[in-house]
Chains A and B, each alone.
Chain A
């Protein structure tokens, strides 16, 4: 079984400050990890993914995420937050063992509010 936890329902950060949105996961094998962003009344948009290789993954809009295998975490980060980053963020995981379906499991989402 695979699962994802996003421990914070909401994160507030001042514009210009660094932001972190937390994600931890559980899979039986090795993970494929994803971050998506959702703006109001829109679908989810892909931000970045970790498949293999470098633990620091860079994605769209200046976001990056660090894969930490020992802590089973994949936190989303950005050095300087913008008001336009305010949105709902979802972490997702898939076991890459190749067995069974390739279905993602999503976290419950974290609402990010960037305060001007």
Chain B
């Protein structure tokens, strides 16, 4: 089945450490996105990529980095510069058509 996979589902990080969240899709979608969701909040766009080897900052990119070396993969690194990284992170992908986004199941990151 085609879909989008985020791993791990739960992640714990010590303060001062970088951590990388994985996002892989086998839908042959051109575009991929990372969102952050805090309790009771909507979705805030961190980064997005419309094509391999290219990506753009979203609304809250500070403290985060991404890469898009392959069409299928769009990993997100939460760096130590992110002041409040505890949140639920969602990855999504889309094609150029009319089908909206397909979302992964999310990664819950907790800083301990």
Contact with A along B8-26 (1 / 0, CB 8 A): 0000000000000000000
Does B90 lie within 8 Å of A43, measured CB to CB? Answer: yes
Residue of B nearest to A49 (CB): B100
Does A49 lie within 8 Å of B42, measured CB to CB? Answer: no
Known: A43-B90, A108-B42. A102 touches B96 (CB 8 A): yes
Does A41 lie within 8 Å of B94, measured CB to CB? Answer: no
Q: Any chain A CB within 8 A of the CB of B88?
A: yes
Task: Determine, out of B63-71, B75-83, B104-112, the stretch whose residues face the partner at the interface.
Answer: B104-112
Which of B6, B90, B94, B97 contacts A44, CB < 8 Å?
Answer: B90
Residue of B nearest to A98 (CB): B96
Does B50 lie within 8 Å of A45, measured CB to CB? Answer: no
Contact with A along B86-104 (1 / 0, CB 8 A): 0010101011111111111
The count of chain B contact residues (Cβ–Cβ below 8 Å) is 25
Q: Which of B22-75 contact A (CB under 8 A)?
A: 31, 33, 41-43, 48, 50
Complex Cα spacing A32 to B97, Å:
10
Residue of B nearest to A34 (CB): B100
Does A42 lie within 8 Å of B100, measured CB to CB? Answer: no
Does A90 lie within 8 Å of B42, measured CB to CB? Answer: yes
Q: Which of A61-99 contact B (CB under 8 A)?
A: 90, 92, 94, 96
Residue of A nearest to B101 (CB): A104
Q: Cβ of A34: which chain B residues have Cβ within 8 Å of it? A: 100
Q: Any chain B CB within 8 A of the CB of A106?
A: yes
Complex Cα spacing A107 to B42, Å:
7
Does B94 lie within 8 Å of A102, measured CB to CB? Answer: yes
Does A43 lie within 8 Å of B94, measured CB to CB? Answer: no
Which of A49, A96, A103 counts the most chain B CB atoms within 10 A?
A103
Known: A42-B105, A44-B90, A101-B50. A49 touches B98 (CB 8 A): yes
Residue numbers of A with Cβ under 8 A of B are 32, 34, 36, 41-46, 49, 51, 90, 92, 94, 96, 101-104, 106-109
Q: List 9 A-B contacts (CB under 8 A).
A: A42-B105, A43-B105, A44-B92, A46-B100, A90-B42, A92-B100, A102-B31, A103-B33, A106-B43
